[in-house]
Amino acid sequence: MDAFYRRWALRIAELNGDADGQWEIYLYALRFWVSTVITFILLLTVGWVFDCISLIIAATCGISLFRAFAGGAHQHKAEVCSIMTMLIMSVITILSLLTVSTVTVTAIFVITVAFAYWSVYRFAPADTPNKPIVGEERAYFRRLSFIVLTVLVVGFGCLFVLGFTRVVLAGTLGMLWQAFSMTPHGYALAHAVDGAVANVLTASK
């Protein structure tokens, strides 16, 4: 897949007459959108099979909308990233289906919000190997990260008041995972997964 992305990124850059360095931006865009479409299809399938699409959508908003501007660690290969995202979403959905008290959900929400704002303050926009962020872009994405996080917090807060406890829990756990992925520990985990996948592929040859 990497060769496919690289070939098309170079082709798009050539067609647009961009400088040599611009193809890396197209490479990131291709990986992002292909990974996003694959992940979205897989998640909708899981949500449809287990009749929990609302929880899947809430968790996806908590992760994807936040990540789009704040950045964060992810796997090098788009297909591995899609599988990991599906596994994480599945775990979040299962946890959201458990019987939990309103007090517990409130505590998780408050702790997650505090941690998410701290992560944005310390690390946003988090660099990724395939997403170059330089100069004024950093201030722009940092500001947007705070705005998007605030919108998510207000939105989930309103849903909580309206009684959608499980939906709020799913979205909150999604935000928690995204905030963690921006930290050095999040990058270390992504690196470890990449290493494990590389070892498995090497051993299978």
162-194 pLDDT per residue, tens: 999 999 999 999 999 999 988 989 888 888 887
Q: Is the pLDDT of residue 1 over 70?
A: no
Q: Is 183 helix (H, G, I), strand (E, B) or coil?
A: coil
pLDDT value at position 128? Answer: 59
Question: pLDDT digit string (tens) for 31-81?
Answer: 767 777 777 787 778 778 777 888 888 888 888 778 777 777 666 676 677
Q: Is 73 helix (H, G, I), strand (E, B) or coil?
A: coil
pLDDT value at position 175? Answer: 92
pTM of the model: 0.77
Please report where in the chains the tokens 């929400």 appear, as a residue: 109
Rounded percentage of the chain residues whose pLDDT exceeds 90: 25
Domain limits, the chain: 2-204
Q: Is the pLDDT of residue 154 over 60?
A: yes
Is the preceding peptide bond at 129 cis, omega within 30 degrees of 0? no
Pull the structure tokens for residue 19: 């400088």
